[in-house]
Amino acid sequence: MTMRTRFAPSPTGVLHIGGARTALFNWLLARRHGGAFVLRIEDTDTERSTRESIDRIIEAMSWLGLQADEGPVLQTDRLDRYRAVARQLLDAGLAYHCYCSREELAAMREDQRSRGLKPRYDGRCRTRTRPVPGADAVVRFKTPEAGRVRVRDLIRGEVTFDNSELDDLVILRPDGVPTYNFSVVVDDSDMGITHVVRGDDHLNNTPRQINILNALGLRLPEYAHVPMILGADGSRLSKRHGAVNVTDYREAGYLPEAVLNYMVRLGWSHGDQELFDVDEMIGAFSLEQVNESAAAFDPDKFLWVNEQWIRRTPSARISPLLATFLEGDGVEDADLNTGPPLEEIVEVQRHRARTLTEMAEKSRFVYNEPDTYAPKAAKQHLRGVALPVLRRLHQCLGELGEWSVETTQAAVESVADELTLKMGKVAQPLRVAVTGESASPGIGQTLALIGQEKTLRRLAKAVEFVEARIARTR
RNA sequence: GAUCCGGUGGGCGAAUGGUUAAGCCACGAGGCUUUCAACCUCGUAAUUGCGGGUUCGAAUCCCGUCCGGAUCCCCA
């Protein structure tokens, strides 16, 4: 039988790292085994589900390249089907109507809890023969009272639950909308899902689902419960831990390849390999190597992975992305067009940036003249002693016929020789003058990217700055 | 509280009864150097949560215990 996996998010928010990794694992499995990956939207919580969330989830998945082979299938489009299955259970005496009010149930639970018991529905409507007038009716599944359920989990091994620990769960609300544990079972079965791979927060739900499957006489899928992703402090990953939404990472200048790569290594490993492109993941992924323990999300390592991908991704692909980040950073569209080819900037910066945001920040100097000098840098390098250096630099660079990394580099070196100064005394003032910062790419590269005209203008401005400063201290 | 799952350096994790417990991130030192990076070298860091047991031998198997997480909703 061909493998069929699925990702079944509830559209009550955006796609976050945990969900994305679950989607990735499912997608990888399907790709690896030549099967199908289905996207199902679990929107039976009509209060909280939104169309916008659906769109955002799909958008995030497509940014990551996790295309579904089938779907999205919306559960709200299948309500008739769930009702029919519930009817079937009702007719077979495997489910019953319950008229208990929410208040009554809450009181029951509180009472049990106060007595140190596990809160469970006590089945008081099980034997009811006629409806309660005026009361809403839900449908409850009749959980077997005795026996145990064995879950064969591909990651955890065999996990058993005692039916006495379970209670009769609601499968249909008064309005005929199914609850999670029921719709999941019907859908996974109808869709021919062979492998249910999901977060281990669902492990405890599995015996209930298996009981329903058994009552319906349906075949059980394989289960694999993957460990959760925790925040750096060991608690469940949440907004407190910084960005957790996939889209946040796109905006922060992460490459989808890097997001995928970092996620796949969270809870899964393949020897000591750290970097995987999508094809490598598909070729190497297996449930057997998925860890059993929860993993903490580590922003530092994520940054490192992104840096690795910035390095190995062709500049032709990075350039247009860099352009949008530069624009977001205040660089004019027109300047982008008249400036140096973006590929050149990428080549120069790819070892110096861990994110595209960082790359853009560090590349602004190419287009925009510094409006202020970094205080520390100015204090240290734009001093009186630098004045003759800057003037001489302005002259020599102004006389340069060909403007390139090599020629500008040579010019700066010859000025240093001529004034018998070490490179640091020449390149640093110059760097601050043209970039406003004390750190930038190699001085030749920096000048080549800025261009002769702008370099000279900035140099002149720096000379004025130093002159003014001397005048002031006098 | 009950049930279920988990626990290897600060983080990710390798090692599925057998040499000094891999590798990566982070961190520290040095090298290179016009700055920042990158790169190279070296280093700090674990009595495998703890306690017992089985065994010639235990991170690995068994028992107990502690800690963490999940579930116990007309959320998914």
- What whole-number distance in Å separates Cα of residue A120 and Cα of residue A112? 8
Binning pLDDT at 50, 70 and 90, where does residue A416 land? very high
| Model confidence at A235: pLDDT above 90 | no
| Nucleotide closest to residue A112 (CA–C1') | B1
| Model confidence at A237: pLDDT above 90 | no
Q: In chain A, which residues from 114 to 173 place their CB closer than 7 Å to nucleic acid strand B?
A: 116-121, 136, 138, 156-157, 159-162, 165, 167, 169-170, 173
- What whole-number distance in Å separates Cα of residue A178 and Cα of residue A113? 27
Binning pLDDT at 50, 70 and 90, where does residue A361 land? very high
Q: What is the pLDDT of residue A131?
A: 83
| Model confidence at A220: pLDDT above 90 | yes
Least confident of A101-105, A177-181, A190-194, A404-408: A101-105
Q: What is the pLDDT of residue A117?
A: 81
* Structural contact between residues A229 and A161, judged by C-beta atoms closer than 8 angstroms: no
- What whole-number distance in Å separates Cα of residue A210 and Cα of residue A285? 27
Catalytic residues of A: 239
Distances from the Cα of A365 to the Cα of A118, A180, A360, angstroms: 64, 54, 9
| Model confidence at A149: pLDDT above 90 | yes
* Structural contact between residues A459 and A432, judged by C-beta atoms closer than 8 angstroms: no
Å between A295 CA and B49 C1'? 17
Burial (CB count within 10 angstroms: exposed 0-12, middle 13-18, buried 19+), residue A103: exposed
Å between A109 CA and B53 C1'? 42
Place of tokens 């861990």: A354
| Nucleotide closest to residue A179 (CA–C1') | B74
Higher-confidence residue of A66 and A110: namely A66
Q: What is the pLDDT of residue A116?
A: 78
Q: In chain A, which residues from 312 to 341 place their CB closer than 7 Å to nucleic acid strand B?
A: none
| Nucleotide closest to residue A109 (CA–C1') | B72
Question: What is the distance, to the nearest Å, from the Cα of residue A195 to the centroid of all Cα atoms in its chain?
Answer: 24
Q: In chain A, which residues from 254 to 273 place their CB closer than 7 Å to nucleic acid strand B?
A: 265-269, 271-272
* Structural contact between residues A246 and A252, judged by C-beta atoms closer than 8 angstroms: no
| Nucleotide closest to residue A377 (CA–C1') | B35
Q: What is the pLDDT of residue A155?
A: 94
User: Nearest CA to the C1' of B70 belongs to which residue?
Assistant: A201
* Cβ neighbours of residue A419 closer than 8 Å, sequence gap 6 or more: A388, A389, A392, A426
Q: What is the pLDDT of residue A474?
A: 65
Q: How many CB atoms lie within 10 A of CB A177?
A: 17
Buried b or exposed e, range A350-389, using 16+ CB within 10 angstroms: beebbbbbbbbebbbbbbbebeebbeebbeebbeeebbeb
Å between A354 CA and B37 C1'? 10
- The 3-state DSSP class for residue A70 equals strand
A155-167 pLDDT, tens digit each: 999 999 999 999 9
Å between A66 CA and B47 C1'? 45
| Model confidence at A349: pLDDT above 90 | yes
Asked if the Cβ of residue A409 lies within 7 A of any atom of strand B, the reply is yes
Q: What is the mean pLDDT of residues A111-115?
A: 84
* Structural contact between residues A459 and A390, judged by C-beta atoms closer than 8 angstroms: yes
Q: What is the pLDDT of residue A239?
A: 65
Q: What is the pLDDT of residue A391?
A: 94
A57-75 pLDDT, tens digit each: 999 999 999 999 997 999 9
- DSSP character string of A112-157: HHHTTPPP----TTTT--SPPTT---EEEE---SSSEEEEEETTTE
Binning pLDDT at 50, 70 and 90, where does residue A240 land? low
- Return the structure tokens found at A253: 């200048």
* Structural contact between residues A443 and A412, judged by C-beta atoms closer than 8 angstroms: yes
Q: What is the pLDDT of residue A110?
A: 87
Binning pLDDT at 50, 70 and 90, where does residue A135 land? confident
| Nucleotide closest to residue A297 (CA–C1') | B11
Q: What is the pLDDT of residue A437?
A: 94
- What whole-number distance in Å separates Cα of residue A306 and Cα of residue A273? 15
Å between A268 CA and B19 C1'? 28
* Cβ neighbours of residue A367 closer than 8 Å, sequence gap 6 or more: A326, A331, A332, A335, A336, A339
Asked if the Cβ of residue A187 lies within 7 A of any atom of strand B, the reply is no
- The 3-state DSSP class for residue A379 equals helix
Q: In chain A, which residues from 60 to 89 place their CB closer than 7 Å to nucleic acid strand B?
A: none
* Structural contact between residues A6 and A189, judged by C-beta atoms closer than 8 angstroms: no
Q: What is the mean pLDDT of residues A263-281?
A: 95
Higher-confidence residue of A236 and A369: namely A369
User: Nearest CA to the C1' of B71 belongs to which residue?
Assistant: A204
Phi and psi based region of residue A299 (left: phi greater than 0; alpha: psi -120 to 50; beta: remaining): alpha
- What whole-number distance in Å separates Cα of residue A364 and Cα of residue A254? 19
Half-sphere exposure of A378 (CA within 13 A, CB side): 18
CA dihedral A224, A26, A201, A249 (to 10 degrees): 150
Å between A149 CA and B58 C1'? 32
- DSSP character string of A405-425: HHHHHHHHHHHHHHTT--HHH
Binning pLDDT at 50, 70 and 90, where does residue A471 land? confident
> What's the mean per-residue pLDDT of chain A?
93
Q: A230 - beta bridge partners?
A: A236, A296
* Cβ neighbours of residue A440 closer than 8 Å, sequence gap 6 or more: A362, A365, A431, A446
Q: What is the pLDDT of residue A133?
A: 85
Q: What is the pLDDT of residue A181?
A: 96
| Nucleotide closest to residue A200 (CA–C1') | B70
Q: What is the mean pLDDT of residues A31-46?
A: 95
Q: What is the pLDDT of residue A132?
A: 85
Q: What is the pLDDT of residue A244?
A: 82
Binning pLDDT at 50, 70 and 90, where does residue A238 land? low
Å between A199 CA and B36 C1'? 42
Q: In chain A, which residues from 336 to 375 place their CB closer than 7 Å to nucleic acid strand B?
A: 351-352
Q: A225 - beta bridge partners?
A: A198
Place of tokens 């069929």: A4
Nucleotides of B under 7 A from a protein CB: 1-8, 10-14, 16, 22-26, 33-38, 68-76
| Model confidence at A327: pLDDT above 90 | yes
Å between A133 CA and B11 C1'? 59
Distances from the Cα of A135 to the Cα of A82, A130, A131, A132, angstroms: 22, 12, 8, 6
Q: What is the pLDDT of residue A123?
A: 87
- The 3-state DSSP class for residue A290 equals strand
